């Protein structure tokens, strides 16, 4: 393996990590909004949240990437006459964020609803508003419960970033495929090894985080 190949693999790995972290952070923000919509009393917002999760959990991530990168620009061009082109990185972030938000919102919703209702009633009895009770009482207790399923979602997104190679982004998977195209199949195993290292690091970090938060339950 030459220094150039190592450099490109390193760059592809960095792109994969960037995609994962940005998508997870943005997805968590959107997921929290969707989770509150789904547990609220407004039927319209609950319906919107249900449709959102139904669509993005019920269709393949690869299809969602294709829609964002290919279909939406064509739709906009046909409707307004001016082109809308996404860079592969931008399209990948949008698709991954929307997808992870759908799954993470269900994790948040289930975690929040797993807390005894008496906690909210006690908080209100102390004079807290709904928002204060949610962010000072309910959500802190929810965190430790949602870490295991959230860790699984994080790892899934990390692995699913490999799908963005289909729209020409130079992530770890695409770089490995380009090198393997020359006839050296070992690059697929190199890519697999790197993915294993990344997911193993995530597992260790989340296990430590779970142990740390469980001390305060």
Instruction: For 8-25, give the secondary structure using H, E and C.
Output: HHHHHHHHHHHHHHHHHH
Q: DSSP of 99-116, one letter per residue?
A: HHHHHHHHHHHHHHHTS-
Q: pLDDT at position 168, please?
A: 82
At residue 198, does pLDDT exceed 90?
yes
Q: What is the mean pLDDT of residues 28-43?
A: 92
pLDDT tens-digit readout, 145-182: 899 899 999 999 999 999 998 888 878 898 888 888 88
- The superfamily in CATH containing domain 3-216 is MetI-like (1.10.3720.10)
Residue 141 contacts residue 133 (beta carbons within 8 Å): no
Domain range annotation of the chain: 3-216
> For 145-171, b where at least 16 C-beta lie within 10 A, e where not — what string?
bbbebbbebbbebbebbbbbbebebbb
| Residue 82: band (very low, low, confident or very high) from pLDDT cuts 50, 70, 90 | confident
Helix 88-113 and helix 3-39, axial crossing angle in degrees, nearest 10: 40
pLDDT at 138 (0 to 100) = 83
Give the residue with greater pLDDT, 133 vs 23.
23
* pTM for this entry: 0.88
Provide mean pLDDT across the span 40-44: 90
Percent of the chain with pLDDT over 70: 98
Q: Per-residue confidence at 215, pLDDT binned at 50, 70, 90?
A: low
pLDDT of residue 213: 74
Residue 47 has pLDDT above 70, yes or no: yes
Average pLDDT, the chain: 89
């Amino acid at each position: 393996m030459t220094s150039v190949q190592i450099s490109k693999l390193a760059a592809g790995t960095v792109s994969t990590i960037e995609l994962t972290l940005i998508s997870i952070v943005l997805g968590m923000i959107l997921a929290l909004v969707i989770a509150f919509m789904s547990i609220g009393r407004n039927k319209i917002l609950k319906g919107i949240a249900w449709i959102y999760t139904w669509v993005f959990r019920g269709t393949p991530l690869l299809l969602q990437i294709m829609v964002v990168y290919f279909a939406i620009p064509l739709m906009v061009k046909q409707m307004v006459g001016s082109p809308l082109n996404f860079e592969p990185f931008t399209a990948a972030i949008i698709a991954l964020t929307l997808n992870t938000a759908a799954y993470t919102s269900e994790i948040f919703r289930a975690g929040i609803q797993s807390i005894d209702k008496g906690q909210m009633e006690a908080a209100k009895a102390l004079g807290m508003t709904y928002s204060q009770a949610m962010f000072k009482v309910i959500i802190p207790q929810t965190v430790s419960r949602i870490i295991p399923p959230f860790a699984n979602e994080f790892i899934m997104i990390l692995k699913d970033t490999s799908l963005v190679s289909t729209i020409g982004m130079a992530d770890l998977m695409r770089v490995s495929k380009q090198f393997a195209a020359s006839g050296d199949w070992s690059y697929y195993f190199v890519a697999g090894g790197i993915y294993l290292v990344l997911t193993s690091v995530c597992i260790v970090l989340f296990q430590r985080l779970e142990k740390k938060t469980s001390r305060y339950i």
